[in-house]
């Protein structure tokens, strides 16, 4: 997903704060406690450089329980490594951050690596060691991670290179797949922070998918098993974030790795981390990644057939995208030299490295749309600052794509202002 998932805490909508309250029973989740206990503290922000990641897990990688192997080099020569745990007959492959600005699962893999490295007796870990062979491939696209952008150094989306495999990152992943021949695969991403759990629903904290293996989206036995596994993960996540888990779109693509892995015979689950109000650095979402992934490992260790219902997956609301990060509705827009009109303003966060401020996307009747945050400007006059107007001349219309910079007034009094970082009160 593009880098639109930045959700600064100032835009906490009260409604979603209320929805985000953790149910009391969830505090007792042993996997959540485990995630907290083994958290790699050196990683505290979603912008992680490749060398920072490997430094943070370096002490754990010395454990005799883990095997570390360089399986390739990125276009710019950064190492791509796998970390392997366990000696069991059922093989799993988990890779993260093939999109360089999608690091939530990478942070979770650091925590999981620290847990797997611990030599203290732990029935949970011992069972995984005995029954599974778990191959972790954190940060498949280190060149993208170094830039905190989706694509690799060539500007190629590695997840659209499963068919052609011209990038060393895609080839490294395929080579690991061919060698490991996993029974299960986990494709770990972050999605657009404006995605909702169902149309008009709250922001989706996670989306799950058992990707299609062909254009007919056939429910092969391999995909059925992935569906049941995704159901188990949805149940675990839903305990913490009821109503906030969505199902990702299952349109098949021959270029995408999740679809290809399913076709190559691994029961594959796509886990997309979304957004959570008050968690701009995705640290709570990181711990919930640990919960989801360890839930999956335990389910497979308990029975590789993964018996269980599909309903918790089938019943998930579809992932619906929201066009705006911020909507200012019901105000009267006053452009100098033009008649005042009633107009809603829709803003989106600018993409690209370093550009995260709100930009004007649309003006007009936008009442049918949901946004991450909506501000009611009824009875107010909206006065755009010069930066939002076209340059020069006597007639200066509104400039679409301009940085958000306006004042909402009631008479002579300022009710609030909008800046590239959001809404500010006077």
Q: Which residues contribute to the site for Zn ion (CB under 5 A)?
A: 99, 102, 189
Please say which residue, 104 or 417, places its beta carbon nearer to Zn ion. 104
Q: What is the distance between the alpha carbons of residues 9 and 110, in angstroms, rounded to a whole number?
A: 25
Please say which residue, 39 or 99, places its beta carbon nearer to Zn ion. 99
CB of 296 to Zn ion, least distance (A): 19
User: First-to-last CA distance in the chain?
Assistant: 35
Distances (CA, A) of 88 to 33, 71, 135, 234, 335: 26, 21, 12, 25, 68
Q: What is the distance between the alpha carbons of residues 35 and 288, in angstroms, rounded to a whole number?
A: 8
CB of 1 to Zn ion, least distance (A): 5
CB of 85 to Zn ion, least distance (A): 25
CB of 274 to Zn ion, least distance (A): 12
Please say which residue, 189 or 194, places its beta carbon nearer to Zn ion. 189
Q: What is the distance between the alpha carbons of residues 416 and 418, in angstroms, rounded to a whole number?
A: 7
CB of 205 to Zn ion, least distance (A): 16
User: What beta strand segments (E) does 116-177 contain?
Assistant: 132-137
Please say which residue, 274 or 346, places its beta carbon nearer to Zn ion. 274
Pairing label, strands 132-137, 90-96: parallel
Tell me the Ramachandran region of residue 194: left when phi exceeds 0, alpha when psi lies from -120 to 50, beta otherwise.
alpha
Do 271 and 190 form a contact (C-beta atoms < 8 A)? no
Q: Would you give the distance in Å from CA 286 to the centre of its chain?
A: 10
CB of 317 to Zn ion, least distance (A): 20
Q: What angle do CA 191, 172, 102 make, to 5 degrees?
A: 15
The per-residue DSSP string of 280-303 comes to TT-HHHHHHHHHHHHHHHHHHHH-
Residue in the shown chain whose Cβ atom is closest to Zn ion: 189
Please say which residue, 99 or 349, places its beta carbon nearer to Zn ion. 99
| H or E, element range at 109 | helix 104-117
Those residues with Cβ within 8 angstroms of residue 220's Cβ, 6 or more apart along the chain or in another chain: 213, 262
CB of 324 to Zn ion, least distance (A): 21
Please say which residue, 157 or 373, places its beta carbon nearer to Zn ion. 157
Please say which residue, 183 or 189, places its beta carbon nearer to Zn ion. 189
Q: Dihedral of CA 176/180/181/184: which sign?
A: negative
Please say which residue, 125 or 177, places its beta carbon nearer to Zn ion. 177
CB of 285 to Zn ion, least distance (A): 14
Q: What is the distance between the alpha carbons of residues 85 and 71, in angstroms, rounded to a whole number?
A: 16
CB of 191 to Zn ion, least distance (A): 7
Q: What is the distance between the alpha carbons of residues 77 and 91, in angstroms, rounded to a whole number?
A: 28
The 8-class DSSP code of residue 234 comes to H
Please say which residue, 149 or 189, places its beta carbon nearer to Zn ion. 189
Q: What is the distance between the alpha carbons of residues 328 and 153, in angstroms, rounded to a whole number?
A: 38
Please say which residue, 99 or 149, places its beta carbon nearer to Zn ion. 99
CB of 327 to Zn ion, least distance (A): 26
């Amino acid at each position: 997903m593009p880098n639109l998932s930045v959700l600064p805490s100032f835009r906490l909508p009260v409604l979603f704060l209320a929805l985000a309250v953790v149910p009391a029973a969830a505090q007792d989740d042993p996997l959540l406690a485990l995630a907290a206990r083994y958290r790699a503290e050196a990683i505290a922000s979603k912008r992680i450089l490749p060398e920072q990641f490997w430094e943070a897990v370096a002490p754990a990688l010395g454990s005799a329980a883990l095997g570390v192997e360089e399986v390739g080099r990125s276009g710019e020569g950064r190492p791509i490594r796998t970390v392997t745990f366990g000696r069991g007959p059922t093989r799993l492959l988990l890779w993260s951050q093939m999109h360089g600005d999608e690091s939530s699962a990478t942070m979770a893999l650091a925590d999981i690596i620290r847990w797997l490295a611990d030599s203290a007796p732990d029935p949970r870990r011992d069972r995984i060691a005995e029954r599974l062979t778990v191959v972790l491939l954190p940060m498949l696209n280190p060149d993208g991670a170094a830039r905190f952008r989706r694509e690799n150094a060539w500007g190629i989306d590695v997840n659209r290179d499963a068919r052609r495999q011209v990038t060393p990152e895609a080839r490294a992943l395929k080579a690991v797949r061919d060698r490991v021949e996993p029974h299960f695969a986990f494709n770990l991403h972050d999605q657009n922070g404006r995605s909702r759990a169902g149309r008009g629903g709250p922001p989706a904290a996670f989306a799950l998918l058992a990707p299609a293996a062909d254009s007919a989206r056939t429910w092969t036995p391999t995909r059925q098993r992935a569906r049941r596994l995704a159901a188990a993960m949805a149940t675990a996540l839903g305990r913490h974030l009821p109503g906030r888990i969505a199902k990702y779109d299952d349109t098949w693509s021959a270029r995408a790795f999740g679809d290809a892995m399913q076709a190559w015979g691994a029961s594959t689950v796509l886990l997309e981390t979304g957004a959570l109000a008050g968690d701009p650095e995705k640290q709570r979402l990181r711990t919930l990644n640990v919960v989801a992934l360890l839930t999956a490992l335990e389910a497979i260790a308990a029975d590789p057939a993964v018996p269980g219902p599909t309903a918790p997956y089938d019943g998930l609301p579809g992932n619906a995208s929201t066009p705006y990060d911020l909507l200012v509705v019901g105000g009267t827009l006053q452009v100098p030299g033009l008649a005042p009109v009633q107009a809603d303003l829709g803003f989106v966060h600018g993409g690209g490295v370093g550009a995260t401020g709100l930009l004007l996307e649309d003006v007009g009747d936008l009442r049918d749309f949901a946004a991450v945050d909506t501000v009611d400007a009824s009875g107010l006059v909206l006065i755009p600052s010069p930066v939002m107007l076209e340059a020069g001349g006597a007639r200066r219309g509104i400039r679409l794509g301009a940085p958000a910079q306006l004042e909402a007034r009631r008479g002579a009094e300022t009710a609030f202002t909008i800046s590239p970082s959001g809404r500010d009160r006077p």
